[in-house]
């Protein structure tokens, strides 16, 4: 892994590898989506958040 964060695909692979229940996966996806929306809104107001880092943390 040459990047500084897990990709969405890598996160999905880990969730499957450890038999994460579907409802927990849906929750993780919802939290990640909310975090990306919040970060984007904050960036519009002058913050400098790394959206790719946030998105990768599914």
Provide the domain limits for residue 22. Answer: 8-56
For range 2-29, the mean pLDDT = 90
CB 58 within 8 Å of CB 8: yes
Residue with more model confidence, 31 or 56? 31
14-31 residues labelled b (16+ CB within 10 A) or e (exposed): ebeeeeeeeeeeeebeee
Look at residue 3 and tell me if it is in a domain: no
Give the Cβ contact number of residue 9 at 10 Å: 10
Residue with more model confidence, 38 or 1? 38
Residue 46: strand, helix, or coil: coil
**pLDDT at residue 1 is higher than 50:** no
Q: Domains in the chain: how many in total?
A: 1
For range 28-56, the mean pLDDT = 94
pTM of the entire predicted model = 0.78
**pLDDT at residue 57 is higher than 70:** no
């Amino acid at each position: 892994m040459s990047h500084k964060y897990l990709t969405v695909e890598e996160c999905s692979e880990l969730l499957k590898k450890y038999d994460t229940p579907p409802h927990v996966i849906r929750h993780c996806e919802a939290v990640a989506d909310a975090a990306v929306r919040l970060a984007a809104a904050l960036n519009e107001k002058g913050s400098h958040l790394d959206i790719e880092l946030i998105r990768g943390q599914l």
